[in-house]
Amino acid sequence: MGIVHAAVFGSVARGEAEPDSDIDILIEFDPEFRLDLFTYAGIREDIAAMIPGADVVGKRFLRQEMKDEVLEEAIRAF
């Protein structure tokens, strides 16, 4: 899949998750991995199928205004 790192962020990482909270997952791709929109969408769907309630975002697609907060609270899985 070209994923080199994954982390959890948001309410789950902060220990504030409620039963209906989603699981925010940050994924980082190998810079050499050729990632197009269709591949990215497919990877997000695959992860969401494995982890119900997952909301997956690629690190390179984070909006600048969110980036610092997300990276600060992220708990790295691998």
**Does residue 1 surpass a pLDDT of 90?**
no
The CATH number of whichever domain residue 66 belongs to comes to 3.30.460.10
The pLDDT of residue 57 is 95
Q: In degrees rounded to 5, what are phi and psi of residue 14?
A: -85, -5
pLDDT digits (tens, 9 = 90+) for 46-63: 999 999 999 999 998 999
Q: Is 28 helix (H, G, I), strand (E, B) or coil?
A: strand
Number of domains present in the structure of the chain: 1
Q: Are 30 and 58 in contact (CB under 8 A)?
A: no
Q: What is the pTM of this model?
A: 0.89
Nearest to 27, CA basis, from 54, 4, 1, 6: 6
Range of the domain at 45: 3-76
Rounded Cα distance between 52 and 69, Å, is 24
pLDDT digits (tens, 9 = 90+) for 17-33: 999 999 999 999 998 98
